[in-house]
Structure 1
């Protein structure tokens, strides 16, 4: 068993040193720059003309958007630091614990959402798509061993539940 583990190639680990990662990195950083330019320029002007409810929503969503993008940029920069040898994987894991990729969602069905400027809504949606991709990669790179250990060493107090978990994982029904 140990021999097969050593021979296993984990694609997600290699992704961060690939051309595909470079594209994701560029996309994420470009989105940060576009968003900053929008919020400091046209967005500031457009927000002044919004009705009260949409104005409050704009303020809240722009804070979430900014926070989401800063978290994404932090994650991308950490991965780049590993690739360039500036940091070890262990250092990145320690720093990465400060990065939140699972929060700051928005609700497009919220009252006032459709009154927000189109360009702003597009930026929010793009940031959510990038966040989703990065969170998936993060899970594959850093949490796969934890997930695997939980499946291999199930809770002995409830063997039936452990078997159900294994089956649902194997068949993708969980």
Structure 2
């Protein structure tokens, strides 16, 4: 939740001002990476809510292991995009790195559900 709040606060209060100083190409990359950040956090939150429902007895572990409740978006979320090609805002780079590491941890947990199904 802390990471989500930090991302929200950054995107709401600082992102626009920092992007105004960037080249048009860098602005495009920053927009793309911002969407990647949002996708990662959305996928992680959805997965965590499913796990919470399992622990609350609202759905079974077998249901949680079904494809529709699994972590998805790997083609977008499990990559680091253009971080080496373009200079992005330092805070955005930090948020991207932290969200990527968290996504990878959740992906490892999600893969453990294969033994449940």
Same topology, TM > 0.5: yes
CA RMSD of aligned residues (A): 1.8
Contact 2:65 2:114 (8 Å CA) reproduced: no
Normalising by structure 2, we get a TM-score of 0.85
Normalising by structure 1, we get a TM-score of 0.59
- Give the equivalent residue in structure 2 for 1:106: 80
- Give the equivalent residue in structure 1 for 2:50: 78
Following TM superposition, the consecutive aligned residue runs of length 4 or more in structure 1 with deviations greater than 6 angstroms are none
- Give the equivalent residue in structure 2 for 1:137: 109
> How many residue pairs get matched?
113
Structure 2 counterparts to residues 49-68 of structure 1, below 5 A: 49-68=21-40
State the SS of the aligned residue for 1:103: helix
- Give the equivalent residue in structure 2 for 1:44: 16
Task: Report how far residue 145 of structure 1 moved.
Answer: 6.2
- Give the equivalent residue in structure 2 for 1:116: 88
Q: Deviations over 1:18-54 (max 9, x none)?
A: xxxxxxxxxxx22112111111111122122211121
Q: Which runs of 5+ in 2 are unaligned?
A: none
Contact 1:72 1:101 (8 Å CA) reproduced: no
- Give the greater-gyration-radius structure (CA): 1
State the SS of the aligned residue for 1:85: coil
Q: Deviations over 1:68-120 (max 9, x none)?
A: 110011111111111122222233234414x41523222322x21xx211011
Q: Which runs of 5+ in 1 are unaligned?
A: 1-28, 147-174
Contact 1:101 1:135 (8 Å CA) reproduced: no
